[in-house]
């Protein structure tokens, strides 16, 4: 089904059923549909129509959902902005996407006024003049322009069509058997495709309800779960880690949870096991990226889950591992993960050459290295660009990171390459210790030396208070690589 039709369909099927809640506001299906229609009338009166780009720069709140579906009702394209972006970063995305109207609260409006013709406060979405136009429901229309994090250079606008969204929603609902009985607690940001698809559009398309949670804080998270009784939520490994770090006295009632979805970065088997044993909720780890509308592989519910993998390819999504020449490798063969199917993006906005490289040969080339095990489960090994080459030997940062994380004193670990005049790069580790733990670099180096070949052992380990993360809580290596580039080894060193 076309996403623009979801509010009207829900109202028709169950007008008084729960729909979207947040910050004390609870909307049933009829109330949500009414707000979407009023907002679409308001947007239409301001010139928004088919193909118009509308930006939404809001924290997670009900008005984000209203603006999203109102724009889609008119056939408009939505580009969500991270509320934490600077004025310059906002200006780039607004200009690159061709935005003509933005929905922004007072805290962010001044940041973008110079960069967009019309800025609309979310309070002004209600009470649009005239009646709402009938929904525009063409699956060929563009739906989202989601900008990638831009670890190198400027962020790229990923073009996702309504056909991509419809395919992903159908596949995801069927895989995890989401029904009208489900309730999602939304905690990941809505400017990210995970938040939009897993925690908003997906459940609403399935007839489930959504509660928009408070900004994540581990110490108050479980009280929301006990109060709202969700059947699932979507998280990233850093969130699961924070919850596992809560005091032992924290014993919440998690009986409402059917599962917890985890993505954005690989989670260790030890973390998944610790979370499940403590909170009695199965974690379903998956893998995907913005360029394929969300997910390409997910572990199945039930006995088919396989910790340490990111699951099997979703029905209707083709996933292969390719060698350097583009040939498909058999099980066990390590190469680049590639994706093909109805969920793959149209391309990068205005970047034809980048699009051609990424979609070469009909495959979405992810830049991730992995392999399929003998049971058809995908195992991620690393990023192509993350490989450290030391004197002709390839070092997988993920392998070293996993060894460090296995040390009882280590909470998080990141390994990056430091340029070396003779050997190319040498591995350097940045480590955050668990609360109350006492451990020095020498002990951690010895730990690695016992478990890794000598060339893989970090040349240096630095104990940090925190590691850099992006807006969805995923660890990022860019700032650490910059530090290492400034400290590159010379012959005198």
For the chain, list the domains and their CATH numbers: 3-138 (3.40.50.980), 183-383 (3.40.50.12780), 387-485 (3.30.300.30)
Q: Provide the pLDDT confidence category of residue 332 given band limits of 50, 70 and 90.
A: very high
Say how far apart CA 459 and CA 211 lie, in whole Å: 47
Across the range 287-314, mean pLDDT stands at: 90
Say how far apart CA 488 and CA 493 lie, in whole Å: 9
Beta strands in 142-216 (DSSP E): 142-147, 157-161, 183-186, 209-212
Give the pLDDT score at 128. Answer: 63
Among 137-146, 223-232, 268-277, which stretch is predicted with the lowest mean pLDDT?
Answer: 268-277
152-170 pLDDT per residue, tens: 457 899 999 999 999 999 9
Token couple for 283 = 């974690």
The answer to whether residue 150 scores a pLDDT higher than 50 is no
Across the range 214-233, mean pLDDT stands at: 94
Give the pLDDT score at 291. Answer: 95
The answer to whether residue 386 scores a pLDDT higher than 80 is no
Q: Provide the pLDDT confidence category of residue 395 given band limits of 50, 70 and 90.
A: confident
Q: Provide the pLDDT confidence category of residue 280 given band limits of 50, 70 and 90.
A: very high
408-467 pLDDT per residue, tens: 999 999 999 999 877 788 999 999 999 889 999 999 999 999 888 788 899 999 999 999
Give the pLDDT score at 301. Answer: 87
Token couple for 322 = 């390719």
Q: What percent of the chain has pLDDT over 70?
A: 96
- Per the CB < 8 A criterion, the answer to whether 91 and 114 are in contact is yes
Give the pLDDT score at 196. Answer: 97
Per-residue DSSP letter, 198: I
95-131 pLDDT per residue, tens: 999 999 999 999 999 999 999 999 999 999 986 666 8
Count CB neighbours of 322 within 10 A: 19
Across the range 377-398, mean pLDDT stands at: 80
180-202 pLDDT per residue, tens: 999 999 999 999 899 999 999 99
- Per the CB < 8 A criterion, the answer to whether 51 and 141 are in contact is yes
Give the pLDDT score at 149. Answer: 60
62-91 pLDDT per residue, tens: 999 999 999 999 999 999 998 888 888 899
The answer to whether residue 388 scores a pLDDT higher than 70 is yes
Give the pLDDT score at 346. Answer: 97
Say how far apart CA 453 and CA 469 lie, in whole Å: 29
Q: Provide the pLDDT confidence category of residue 312 given band limits of 50, 70 and 90.
A: very high
Higher pLDDT, 398 or 318: 318
Count CB neighbours of 426 within 10 A: 21
348-364 pLDDT per residue, tens: 999 999 999 999 999 99
The answer to whether residue 490 scores a pLDDT higher than 80 is no
Helix/strand/coil (H/E/C) assignment for every residue in the chain: CCHHHHHHHHHHHCCCCEEEEECCEEEEHHHHHHHHHHHHHHHHHCCCCCCCEEEEECCCCHHHHHHHHHHHHCCCEEEECCCCCCHHHHHHHHHHHCCCEEEECHHHHHHHHHHCCEEECHHHHCCCCCCCCCCCCCCCCEEEEEECCCCCCCCCEEEEEHHHHHHHHHHHHHHHCCCCCCEEEECCCCCCHHHHHHHHHHHHHCCCEEEECCCCCHHHHHHHHHHHCCCEEEECHHHHHHHHCCCCCCCCCCCCCCEEEECCCCCCHHHHHHHHHHHCCCEEEEECCHHHCCCCEECCCHHHCCCCCCCEECCCEEEEEECCCCCECCCCCCEEEEEEECCCCCEECCCHHHHHHHCHHHCEEEEEEEEECCCCCEEEEEEHHHCEEECCEEECHHHHHHHHHCCCCEEEEEEEEEEECCCEEEEEEEEEECCCCCCCHHHHHHHHHCCCCHHHCCCEEEECCCCCECCCCCECCHHHHHHHHCCCECCCC
* 139 contact partners, CB below 8 Å, separation of at least 6: 2, 161, 162, 163, 166
């Amino acid at each position: 089904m076309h996403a623009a039709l979801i509010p009207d369909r829900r109202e028709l099927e169950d007008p008084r059923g729960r729909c979207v809640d947040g910050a004390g506001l609870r909307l049933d299906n009829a109330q949500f549909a009414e707000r979407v229609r009023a907002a679409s009338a308001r947007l239409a009166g301001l010139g928004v129509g088919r193909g118009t780009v509308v930006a939404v720069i809001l924290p997670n709140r009900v008005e984000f959902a209203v603006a999203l579906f109102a724009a889609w009702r008119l056939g408009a394209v939505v580009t969500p902005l991270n509320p934490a972006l600077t004025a310059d970063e906002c200006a780039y995305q607004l200009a690159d996407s061709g935005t003509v109207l933005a929905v922004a609260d007072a805290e962010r409006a001044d940041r973008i006024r110079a960069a967009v013709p019309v800025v609309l406060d979310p309070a002004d979405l209600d009470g649009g003049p005239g009646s709402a136009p009938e929904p525009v429901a063409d699956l060929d229309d563009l739906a989202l322009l989601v900008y990638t994090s831009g670890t190198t250079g400027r962020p790229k606008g990923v073009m996702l069509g309504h056909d991509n969204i419809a395919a992903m929603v159908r596949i995801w609902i069927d895989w995890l058997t989401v029904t009208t009985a489900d309730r999602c607690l939304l905690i990941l940001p809505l400017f990210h495709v995970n938040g939009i698809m897993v925690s908003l559009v997906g459940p609403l398309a399935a007839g489930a309800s959504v509660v928009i949670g408070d900004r994540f804080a581990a110490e108050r998270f479980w009280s929301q779960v006990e109060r709202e009784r969700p059947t699932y939520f979507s998280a990233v490994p850093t969130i699961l880690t924070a919850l596992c770090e809560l005091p032992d006295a924290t014993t919440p009632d998690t009986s409402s949870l059917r599962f917890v979805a985890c993505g954005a970065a690989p989670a260790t088997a030890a973390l998944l096991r610790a979370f499940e044993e403590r909170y009695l909720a199965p974690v379903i780890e998956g893998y995907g990226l913005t360029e394929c509308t969300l997910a390409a592989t997910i572990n199945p519910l039930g006995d088919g889950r396989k910790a340490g993998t990111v699951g099997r390819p979703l029905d209707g999504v083709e996933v292969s591992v390719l060698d350097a020449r583009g040939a498909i490798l058999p099980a066990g063969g390590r190469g680049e993960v590639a994706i093909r199917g109805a969920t793959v993006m149209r391309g990068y906005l205005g970047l034809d050459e980048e699009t051609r490289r990424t979609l070469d040969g009909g495959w979405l080339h992810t830049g991730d290295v992995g392999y399929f095990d003998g049971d058809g489960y995908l195992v991620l090994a690393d990023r192509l660009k993350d490989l450290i080459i030391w004197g002709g030997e390839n070092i997988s940062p993920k392998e070293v990171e996993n060894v460090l994380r296995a040390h009882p004193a280590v909470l998080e670990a990141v390994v990056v390459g430091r340029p070396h005049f003779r050997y190319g790069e040498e591995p350097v580790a940045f480590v955050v210790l668990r609360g109350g733990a006492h451990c020095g670099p020498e002990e951690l180096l010895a730990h690695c030396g016992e478990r890794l070949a000598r060339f893989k052992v970090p040349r240096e380990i630095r104990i940090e208070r925190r590691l850099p993360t992006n807006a969805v809580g995923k660890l990022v290596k860019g700032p650490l690589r910059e530090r290492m580039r400034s400290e590159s080894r010379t012959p005198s060193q």
